[in-house]
Each structure stands twice: as structure tokens, then as C-alpha cells.
Amino acid sequence: MSTNITHHSSYVTHAERSVSKGTWFHGCTVWFTGLSGAGKTTLAFALEHYLVNQGISAYVLDGDNIRSGLNKNLGFSDEDRVENIRRVSEVAKLFADANNICLTSFISPFESDRTAARKLHSENNLPFFEVFLATPIEVCEKRDVKGLYKRARAGEIKNFTGISAAYENPTNPDLILNTEKYSVRECVSRCVQMLAQAGLMPDYNAVNPFGGPMPKELYVTNIEEVQNLKDECQSLPHLNITELDLQWIQTLAEGWATPLNGFMRENEYLQVLYFGQFQGSNSSVVTNFSIPIVLAISTEDKERFNGNGASIALVYNNMLIGMLQNCEFFPHRKEERCCRIFGTNHPNHPSIKTIMSSGDWLVGGDLKVFERIKWNDGLDHYRLTPREIQTKLVQMKADCVFAFQLRNPIHNGHALLMTETRQQLLKKHKYNNPVLLLHPLGGWTKSDDVPLNIRIAQHEACLDEGILDRDTTLLAIFPSPMLYAGPREVQWHARTRMLAGVQYYIVGRDPAGLPHPDGTGVDLYDPSHGAKVLSMAPGLAGLKIIPFRVAAYDKLSVKCHFSILNVHLISYSFLALKCVH
């Protein structure tokens, strides 16, 4: 190095960089090494895609890409290989220092070069992970996408690693993967687990096989702990909860409201009310959260409890459900809540009517639920948790998941949209097996909506008669109650599905909307705003939005069609989108 060069340090610390990106500092380098054809590039780009969809900045430095630009003046002699890796190590360090997860995909055959790269990162307080793709050379040679092994065997390529040049296996890698044994998805999952264990990702993001955040369940699974908590509840004040409260408890306990630990405390509540998102006290991660999940209590009940920090036993129909720990009590400002969430406080709005008649206090705290919540209505087997849905989707060999939520029966337009969406995912996006999560809402709905049992029976009939393909459709119930909060609520509906593994979300016309409660018949929310807001909503990285397309019914062909611009309109009816069955 020239003696007239002085290193200059940045004025910006790692902590400041993390704040500027609205996250924690996760800058590091994941160094993929292995033979040509081992799967380095495929895995690096797949991991990059996963991380970016989690809102985590990541970038791949690929061997071929770097050699076609920055290092295009280097060949494949030992000296040039060393210089190639030295330059890449320096670039990776800069990317990591800028709070990126840098993913390098290089054969990097020499142990000394990889050790030097690790040392460079260590000297700059940056984590470094060496991932050895230990795929056998026989497998790599069979893949030989570029035809390099064949040319090397023929003597056309000199100094080819594994054939005419040595590859030094890592002596102490952070992770060993054999891409012959593990799928790309499994390899990505193992890399993510490695990063999570190092504290570079939230724990609940660790192993969702479809790329969304990992749900955090609030059920107590240890039998001894359950009994101890139940014993403790005997000496605690009891709170009798409503059916609506229990539906929210189920939603929380199954992990649909991740990363909440229970009913919202005041700081979380205010962030949701005013920002439509919140940041946990122990995290710098900002989460899209558009609706409050709170527990209302009366003044009389509040006075029975022991103030902030107390614990409360939760009881439904004389059954001990769980407990709320480290409670915090705060005023239930009902008009403020309604105006912020619904854009109105009209007393005839069904959810506003419920809120206005509820208690004058809210209580938040950490929720512990003792047993799986069952409704014993013959539909419990449809009530799958996000983790159970993930498992089912893996069993169905889904490589893409799209979801449609509805609170009424499927009509012909719905069926056409769902079928057409799958065809687009196959043809346009080149997926092999897109699976539909048909996910009707199962919590409280207003009295003139179709009851859940009838809706499920109709959905099953659609599957039985092949209107929807049973082999590529998973029917499950979403436990959340309805709010009828329009664009606010549609964000909640979309984000929760990410926890189940959904990557594409179909947005209906006027989602979560209803006629204005003043009786004029005008829509309370603009029917197009749900899709527009959802397409712009922060904190939903990785979720692709599919807007609802208006379908018309052709009375001559007895079918629905999306486009009617070039046909005789007399044969079409926009009023004939009748329910199937």
C-alpha cells in the first residue's frame, strides 16, 4: 500500500445506520463457497429474495457478475484468483458496513483467502459466515449448466477447479449444505436459522418456508407450566370475557397477530391508532398493524384488579381460558378510537355499536392461553393455525401460495378470478404448483352476512364439483372477527396471511366495506381504495397484490368473463354474479 494514503472512518455508527433504515443493524457477509455447479448462485439469489421480502436489505455479489465488471482484468491463475477474492472481500465488507446482508457467490478455492476475508470482517466488527456447499463433484458435473466441466475434461479450459486446479475444503465452516440432499427452500431455511441464531433476524422470522414472518403462538405447551399457571389463577381476580373477546384471544394465541404478546398496551395502541403500525419496546423493527386488538373492561372490573403490573385470570362460560400478565390499564376513548379506525363514529355502524357499549377502560398485557380454543360446531378441523397451514402447503408441494378471503359465499366472478389467478401464476410467473388458500373469515360478522357453516358447506360444494380444484386448494377458517373498517382492515387481513405463507393476495371490490350506516345506501368507503391502499401500505414487503377484476355474466354462453369490450353487451349482466349453488 502506498505510504501517502490515509484511511478515513465514517462519522456514522452501525446503530445510526440501522435507525436510518428503520430496523436493527444486521450488516454481515454470508460467504458461499464450493465447486462450480454446487448451487452457490442459485442459493444466494434465493436467500436474497427471502431477506428482501422480509424488509431486510440484502445484495448478492456473484462471481460471474463481478468478473464481467470490477474484476474483468483478472484471469484464473493462482495469483489472479487470490486478487479476485481479495477485492470481493473488501467490497463485501463495505456492503456489510452499510447495514446490508452481503451474499457472496464465489468458488474461492483457497482456505487462506477465505480466512483473510473473515479476518477483514472481524477487524471491522462485522459478522462473517462461511457456508460450504459440499455438493459432490459428480453431481456438479452432471448439472454442468455452462458446459464448463465438459470443456475442462477436454482440455479446453485450464486451471479449472476440481479438474485441473485444487479446491481446498473449508476446515471450520459456519454451515455445510449439500444441495443434492436439500432443496433450495430447505437450504434457505437453514441459512435463515443461522442468521437468526446470530441475532441478525427476529426469531419469529426463522423458518417460514414460504418467506413470510414466522408466527409466534401464545399457547402454553408445557403441561407442568400450564398446571402451575392454573394454580396461580385460583388466587387471581377473574375477568368474564365475551365471545368476541375469545375470538380475539384465539387470533392472538394462534400467532395471527405476531409479534404481539397479548392485548395491546397503551403505547402499542396509540401507535396503531395514529400510525397504522407499531414498534416493539425491545425491537427497532416497525410492523404494519392497522387495527387495535384490545380488551375492554368496565370501571367496576378495573377497580377489582390490583392496578398496573397485576395478573388476571380470563374466564369464558365458567371455563378458565388463560391469564393476562403484567397488565396495564388505560382509558377507552371510544370516539377517538372509532373516528381513527372507521373514519366515522356513526352509532349504526355494527362495530361502532359494539365498541360504544363496551367498557370504559382497556387492559393490555402478556397473554398465556392454556388450551387450544375449540368451538365444537363441527368446523374446528378447518381452523388451522398459521404453522399448520404452512405444514399443509409444504405437504401439497406448493411453490407459490395465493389467498382469497371472503365473508360470503363464492359467486361465479370469485371462482373465475381464483382460477384465472392460478393460470397467471403458472404461465406468466412460471410457478410449478401454485396453491390457493381459500380462507373465509370465521369470527363475528354482522347479522345479514351468511352464517359460517353455510359458507363452508358452499365452499366444499365448489370443491366437490370441480369449480375449484381440490388438489390445489386449501380450505381453512381465519378466526378473526370482522370490523368493517375498509382500507384499514384490509391491511390486517393481508398481513395475517403472510404469516401462513401467502405471497399473492387477491383484493376484492370494497374489501371490509359496507353501506354507510346513515341509511343512504352510499358506500362508506370508496370501493377502489382497499386495493390502492394495500398496494402502498408499508411493512408488507414480499406480498404481491392482485386487484379484483369486475366480471360479467354472459347469458348466452352461461359463463363469466372479465373483458366484454368487443362483444354485444345485450348478452351480459353485471347483476348475474350469483352464488355458485
Task: Name 418's Cβ contacts closer than 8 Å, sequence gap at least 6.
Answer: 404, 436, 438, 468, 506
Q: Compute the half-sphere exposure of residue 150: CA atoms within 13 Å on the CB side of its CA.
A: 6
Contact 265, 273 (CB under 8 A): no
Cell numbers standing for residue 241: 370475557
Does residue 170 carry a pLDDT above 50?
yes
Q: Tell me what pLDDT residue 558 has.
A: 60
Count other Cβ atoms within 10 Å, centred on residue 341.
23
Strand partners of residue 104? 31, 61
Does 380-562 match 20-198 at the fold level? yes
Mean pLDDT of 529-543: 88
Q: What is the CATH number of domain 380-562?
A: 3.40.50.620
**What average pLDDT does the chain have?**
88
Q: Tell me what pLDDT residue 158 has.
A: 83
Beta strand extents in 275-393 (DSSP E only): 277-279, 286-288, 295-297, 312-316, 319-331, 361-369
Q: How far apart are CA 79 and CA 412, in angstroms?
A: 67
546-549, long-range: CB < 8 A, 24+ apart: 546/402, 546/421, 546/504, 546/505, 546/506, 546/507, 547/507, 548/417, 548/506, 548/507, 548/508, 548/509, 549/417
Q: How far apart are CA 490 and CA 543, in angstroms?
A: 13
Q: Tell me what pLDDT residue 550 has.
A: 57
Contact 560, 552 (CB under 8 A): yes
Distances (CA, A) of 545 to 46, 492, 580: 21, 14, 25
Contact 553, 385 (CB under 8 A): no
Contact 441, 508 (CB under 8 A): no
Q: How far apart are CA 540 and CA 534, in angstroms?
A: 9
How is the beta sheet containing 361-369 ordered, strand by strand?
Answer: 238-240, 312-316, 319-331, 361-369, 295-297
User: In CATH, what class is 223-369?
Assistant: alpha beta
Strand partners of residue 559? 554
137-144, long-range: CB < 8 A, 24+ apart: 137/35, 137/162, 139/37, 139/179, 139/180, 140/35, 140/36, 140/37, 140/38, 141/37, 143/37, 144/37
Q: Tell me what pLDDT residue 32 has.
A: 97
Q: How far apart are CA 73 and CA 261, in angstroms?
A: 55
Mean pLDDT of 311-336: 98
pLDDT grade, residue 283 (50/70/90)? Answer: low
What is the helix (H) or strand (E) element at residue 494, kind and residue range? helix 487-499
pLDDT grade, residue 406 (50/70/90)? Answer: confident
Helical ranges in 500-553 per DSSP H: 529-536
First to last CA, the chain: 79
Contact 493, 383 (CB under 8 A): no
Q: Tell me what pLDDT residue 403 has.
A: 96
Q: Tell me what pLDDT residue 135 has.
A: 92
Q: Tell me what pLDDT residue 53 has.
A: 72
Return the closest-CA partner of residue 504 out of 579, 455, 431: 431
Q: Among 137-146, 243-252, 344-353, which stretch is predicted with the lowest mean pLDDT?
A: 137-146
> What are 364-402's pLDDT values in tens digits?
999 999 999 999 999 999 999 999 999 899 899 999 999
Q: Among 178-182, 244-248, 293-297, 432-436, which stretch is predicted with the lowest mean pLDDT?
A: 178-182
Q: Tell me what pLDDT residue 563 has.
A: 52
Cell numbers standing for residue 77: 491463475
> What are 543-570's pLDDT values in tens digits?
898 876 655 556 666 665 555 444 444 4
pLDDT grade, residue 16 (50/70/90)? Answer: low
Task: Provide the CA 44 distance to its chain's centre, in angstroms.
Answer: 20
Mean pLDDT of 458-466: 95
The DSSP line for 370-387 is -S-----SS-GGG---HH
> What are 301-317's pLDDT values in tens digits?
999 997 888 999 999 99
Contact 335, 353 (CB under 8 A): no
Does residue 351 carry a pLDDT above 90?
yes
Q: Tell me what pLDDT residue 1 has.
A: 46
Number of residues written out for the chain: 581
Q: How far apart are CA 187 and CA 42, in angstroms?
A: 10
Task: Provide the CA 276 distance to its chain's centre, in angstroms.
Answer: 17
SS (H, E, C) 424-440: HHHHCCCCCCEEEEECC
Q: Give me the torsion for CA of 503, 531, 261, 47, rounded to 10°.
A: 30
Contact 59, 98 (CB under 8 A): no
What is the helix (H) or strand (E) element at residue 354, kind and residue range? helix 350-356
Q: Percent of the chain beyond pLDDT 70?
A: 88
Q: Tell me what pLDDT residue 214 has.
A: 80
pLDDT grade, residue 574 (50/70/90)? Answer: very low
Q: Where are the domains of the chain?
A: 20-198, 223-369, 380-562
> Which one has a higher pLDDT value, 512 or 354?
354
Does residue 203 carry a pLDDT above 60?
no
Q: Among 10-19, 29-38, 252-261, which stretch is predicted with the lowest mean pLDDT?
A: 10-19
> What are 107-133's pLDDT values in tens digits?
999 999 999 999 999 999 999 999 999
Task: Provide the CA 211 distance to its chain's centre, in angstroms.
Answer: 6
- Yes or no: is domain 20-198 CATH 3.40.50.10860? no
**Owner of C-alpha cell 403490573:** 309
Mean pLDDT of 424-448: 95
Mean pLDDT of 178-191: 90
> What is the SS3 assignment for 54?
coil
Contact 261, 367 (CB under 8 A): yes
Q: Tell me what pLDDT residue 568 has.
A: 43
Q: Tell me what pLDDT residue 174 has.
A: 96
Q: Give me the torsion for CA of 369, 371, 376, 377, rounded to 10°.
A: 40
Q: Tell me what pLDDT residue 308 has.
A: 83
Beta strand 552-554 with 559-561: parallel, antiparallel or unpaired? antiparallel
Q: How far apart are CA 441 and CA 428, in angstroms?
A: 30
Return the closest-CA partner of residue 435 out of 452, 412, 418, 460: 418
Q: Is 231 exposed, middle or buried (0-12, 13-18, 19+ CB in 10 A)?
A: exposed
Burial string for 266-305 (b: 16+ CB within 10 Å, else e) reads eebbebbbeebbbbbeeeebbbbbbbbbbbbbeeebbeeb
Contact 87, 57 (CB under 8 A): no
> Which one has a higher pLDDT value, 212 or 508?
508
Contact 361, 330 (CB under 8 A): yes
